[in-house]
Amino acid sequence: MYFEHVEFDSHEKILFIHDAVSNLRAIIAIHDTRLGPALGGTRFWNYADSADALGDALRLSKGMTYKNALAGLPFGGGKAVVLIDPAQGKSPALLRAYAEALNQLDGQFITGEDVGMTVADVDQIRVHTPFIAGSSTTRAASGDPSRFTAEGVYRCLLETAEVAFGSMDLNGARIGVQGLGAVGWKLAEKLYKAGATLLVSDLDRTKTRRAVDVFNAIETAPEWIMRQEMDIFAPCGLGRILSDESVAALKAKAVAGAANNQLSHPGVDQFLSQRGILYAPDFVINAGGVLNVAAEAQGDYDCEKVMKQVHRIPKRLRSIFDRSKATGRSTGAIADVLAQEILHQVNKAA
Ligand code: NAD
């Protein structure tokens, strides 16, 4: 069942964890450790079922391999998902049981924050394991990574605007932000300051209402945002929102957002390109957070140094746009090839 799974891609290790006392149900997927120990966040989510959770873990962990490789990090790719029952939430016992599961892997997997997780959760888990970063309490504490992710995505959105429209000036541009969580809100703040008109959606309407008040944003129902007239669409919620159907209806001229695994299948970016929509590959532009977490994991955290690394991401994106233009291949395919080239170099060196 696992080896035949549609999302399975030569993953090195998949660990299923169940702790009856705390009712922890988690899946840790280690995709590739050729570049170093696997590094990737843990997602706490109310999955429909365990098959859904497994698919997410397999897909997201492969994305981390590519993201870490392109970001130049000495880490492989992995990701964990914890199946949360909203009625139960994240109890201290559950977080402790999860920390003990991380200890079993003895550093083969180092994790951090993802959707459904906070710095406070990281701090609680950190009490029981050294294999988590993004805390607020340790010597090299790096804290919430979303500020770095949002900064990288914002800079890359400007780069995307320049390639798509010939200008980085966002004054008056209509930008759709899907998901106003840790990253989406900070991105919206920057876009608003740059003069953009924001269309916003979130499953949680308190967030969209707040954006209407604070950013004078236009509130849109989650199922409608991709059908609105806009210049740039910035997906910052969950993944797989770019499907054949949604892209056919998408009115934006470019897509640049933080969400991981935006493409519902690998061919969708080709379809985006056929429709004249410039796609900034997610795992290239949202690497700010992992750069921040990686600095803590390496025990040498310097916020300014990380920001400098984040500011180099747009140059990488531009080279992908250029190569895509020169070869006619989609931007996502080019980003995949670049990451695979880095991994092949490790094979050769071994
Ligand atoms: P978050 O949990 O803080 O926020 C996600 C928000 O998206 C929530 O408000 C949620 O209600 C909303 N949402 C989910 N599905 C939606 C939908 N279909 N329509 C509208 N809103 C929806 O998460 P985050 O940390 O801001 O991360 C957002 C995305 O960026 C995720 O895909 C995450 O994997 C990715 N990402 C985050 C970081 C980081 O530093 N936090 C780094 C890299 C990638």
Residues 176 and 94 in one domain: no
Mean pLDDT of 202-221: 98
> Which tens digits make up the pLDDT trace of 264-297?
998 999 999 999 999 999 999 999 999 999 999 9
Residue of 115, 207, 228 to mutate, ligand 1, most atoms within 8 A of C-beta:
115
Residues 37 and 81 in one domain: yes
CA 149 – CA 116 distance, rounded (Å) = 16
Model confidence at 165, pLDDT cuts 50, 70, 90, reads very high
What atom in ligand 1 is closest to the CA of residue 261?
32
Residues 94 and 198 in one domain: no
Cα 258 to averaged position of ligand 1 atoms, centre (Å): 8
Model confidence at 218, pLDDT cuts 50, 70, 90, reads very high
Cα 146 to averaged position of ligand 1 atoms, centre (Å): 10
* Structure confidence at residue 86 (pLDDT): 82
Residues 216 and 322 in one domain: yes
Structural contact between residues 102 and 17, judged by C-beta atoms closer than 8 angstroms: no
Cα 153 to averaged position of ligand 1 atoms, centre (Å): 13
Model confidence at 25, pLDDT cuts 50, 70, 90, reads very high
Residues 192 and 321 in one domain: yes
Domain holding 256: CATH number?
A: 3.40.50.720
Residues with CB under 6 A from ligand 1: 113-116, 145-146, 149, 178-184, 201-204, 207, 222, 236-239, 258-260, 286, 289
Residues 50 and 195 in one domain: no
What atom in ligand 1 is closest to the CA of residue 115?
2
Task: Give the other-Cβ count within 10 Å of 342's Cβ.
Answer: 16
Residue of 64, 113, 149 to mutate, ligand 1, most atoms within 8 A of C-beta:
149
Residues 6+ apart with CB under 8 A from 228: 174, 176, 199, 220, 251
Query: Is 154 within a domain?
Result: yes
What atom in ligand 1 is closest to the CA of residue 235?
29
* Structure confidence at residue 122 (pLDDT): 95
What atom in ligand 1 is closest to the CA of residue 257?
30
* Structure confidence at residue 72 (pLDDT): 96
Query: Is 264 within a domain?
Result: yes
Query: Is 300 within a domain?
Result: no
Query: Is 133 within a domain?
Result: no
Q: For the full predicted model, state whether its pTM sits above 0.85.
A: yes
Mean pLDDT of all residues belonging to the chain: 95
Verify whether residue 79 is a known catalytic residue: yes
Domain holding 37: CATH number?
A: 3.40.50.10860
pLDDT at 204 over 90: yes
Print the domain residue range for 252. 146-286+316-340
* Structure confidence at residue 346 (pLDDT): 82
Name the residue with the closest Cα to ligand 1, atom 5. 181
E strands present in 138-231:
174-178, 197-201, 218-219
Query: Is 306 within a domain?
Result: no
What atom in ligand 1 is closest to the CA of residue 145?
40
Which tokens belong to 271? 């379809």
Residues 17 and 112 in one domain: yes
Model confidence at 28, pLDDT cuts 50, 70, 90, reads very high
Cα 278 to averaged position of ligand 1 atoms, centre (Å): 22
Residues 166 and 79 in one domain: no
Query: Is 299 within a domain?
Result: no
Residues 94 and 241 in one domain: no
pLDDT at 142 over 90: no
Cα 178 to averaged position of ligand 1 atoms, centre (Å): 9
Task: Give the other-Cβ count within 10 Å of 321's Cβ.
Answer: 20
Query: Is 297 within a domain?
Result: no
The upper half-sphere exposure of residue 118, i.e. CA atoms within 13 Å in the direction of its Cβ, equals 6
Query: Is 255 within a domain?
Result: yes
pLDDT at 336 over 90: yes
Structural contact between residues 38 and 132, judged by C-beta atoms closer than 8 angstroms: no
Cα 325 to averaged position of ligand 1 atoms, centre (Å): 30
Identify the active-site residue in 79, 186, 207, 253.
79
* Structure confidence at residue 134 (pLDDT): 92
Look at 83-87, 245-249, 278-282 and tell me which has the smallest mean pLDDT: 83-87
Residues 122 and 270 in one domain: no
Count of domains forming the chain: 2
